[in-house]
Amino acid sequence: MRFAVPLLLAVCFAIDGHTPAAADDAAARPNVIVILADDLGYADIGVHGGTQIPTPNIDRLAASGVRCTDGYVSCPYCSPTRAGLLTGRYQQRFGHEFNCNPANKRWREIGLPTTETTIADRLAAAGYATGMVGKSHLGYADAYHPLRRGFQEFFGHLAGGHAYFSTSKPFSKNSPLLRGTTPVAETEYLTDALAREAVSFVERHRERPFFLYLAFNAVHTPMEAKPEQLARFAAIADEERRTYAAMTVSLDEAVGRVLDALEAAGVRERTLVFFLSDNGGPTCTDMAKNGSLNTPLRGSKGQTLEGGIRVPFLVSWPGKLPAGTTYGRPVIQLDILPTALAAAGAPVAAEAALDGVDLVPYLSGRRDGPPHEALYWRFGRQSAIRKGNLKLVTWMDRDTEVMSTQLFDLAADVGEAHDLAADRPADVAALTADWRAWNATLAEPLWLDRTKDAAVDAK
């Protein structure tokens, strides 16, 4: 608690509206909300064809904007994806390749490097009120606390997961629920509590531009659902899937509460909203399975197959982006930072070396061509590159620990069922050379974790 006083002042600064933006400035600059689900299956929302679990609020967000069918994250795992999202840079560039876990002996020393500037840092400097609600998972020491990373308000937890009920056995004894830096007792189901805090942030900052990072821990384990939601899915025989469905409905209702709050505050038309998951659903036996489905994708959280890295990815900005449309070229969570900053009129100097791009010209149809010539992944010994519709992937069967390198044409084979490597050696060689050139620009991991693929194998 060494920085409790200055952080309290920062929170009060945000709450009392000190030096508010002028009315015309507020009208010109949009609010930005990033809603991040945790371990959500690709197949488990209505707009992706899911029929077993109703997600009307996520679906209405999609109907109000653009659904990116080929939306990716830069890691098939929780913490690195969040590091990339908040910085707009491949997290391997600064060594954040693996999770920040209490199991790591150095866990109090590791986290999102303080040399990196976050989206909250940048938007706060541009005059935005900045708040974070939910799961951080970017370090446990004071230096990594959200209130030290550009956020003026924080309600949530620092660990990779948390119990949903106050009566549950704590999911992480090292990570209490916090308001700012102060542990709090919470009586509501956690997903509902996070929605409540997000709605409060919207209501309190409706008069000035704001940035809200709403990082749900749902539908990550532990599998805990409200009884009334479980009752809705009594017909699902599998207990894990039934609980997951109930938890997903609570997540969807929480999204709806935030959208309703924007409309009630009269700011929906000037709010840019992103919705995505931090990785694919965990379907491998060693990945704390939650009952999710990634159909028609192959693979799981923890793998560089599509099921681990392609996620639900929605972008809505009424009047600026076409409603009810889809976008089929590859985009990635690294694009969120430059898109938000461009919308806010807060350009980033080239020296920042961002890997993401402003998506608005592409999603609005004003700019042709792909946002990225190629997308890249490195996760220990696993890797991938997607260039056009070709994807070269080295992935691990997490049950057998067997590594495979395969080539797929995703336009014809989104399920990665037909390996083309033997038939197209020239493509394998070209993509391998491209990936190696990218890999040469990366840092070594600052720490390892206990996953099976925790060693880097530079090809």
Residues with a catalytic annotation lie at 78, 137
Name the token pair of 337: 């930072």
Q: Which residues pair with 406 in a beta bridge?
A: 393
Contact 225, 204 (CB under 8 A): no
Backbone angles phi, psi at 379, to 5 degrees: -140, 85
Q: What is the Cα Rg of the chain in Å?
A: 21
CB neighbour burial string for 70-108, b if at least 16 within 10 angstroms, e if fewer:
bbbbbbbbbbbbbbbbbbbbbbbbbbbbbbbbeebeebe
CA distances for 73 relative to 6, 111, 290, 300, 415, angstroms: 34, 19, 19, 13, 18
Backbone angles phi, psi at 412, to 5 degrees: -100, -15
Q: Long-range CB contacts (< 8 A, 24+ apart) of 434-439?
A: 434/374, 434/385, 434/387, 435/376, 435/383, 435/385, 435/392, 435/459, 438/374, 438/376, 438/385, 439/376, 439/378, 439/383
Q: Which amino acid is at 315?
A: V
- Locus of tokens 């028609």: 296
End-to-end CA distance of the chain: 44
Contact 147, 180 (CB under 8 A): yes
Name the token pair of 304: 């560089």
Gap between the Cα atoms of 237 and 129, Å rounded: 46
Question: 156 by DSSP, 3-state: which?
Answer: strand
Name the token pair of 267: 């700011």
Which of 124, 111, 219 is closest to 447 using CA atoms? Answer: 111
> CB neighbours (10 Å) of residue 207?
14
**DSSP structural state of residue 351:** G
Backbone angles phi, psi at 411, to 5 degrees: -65, -35
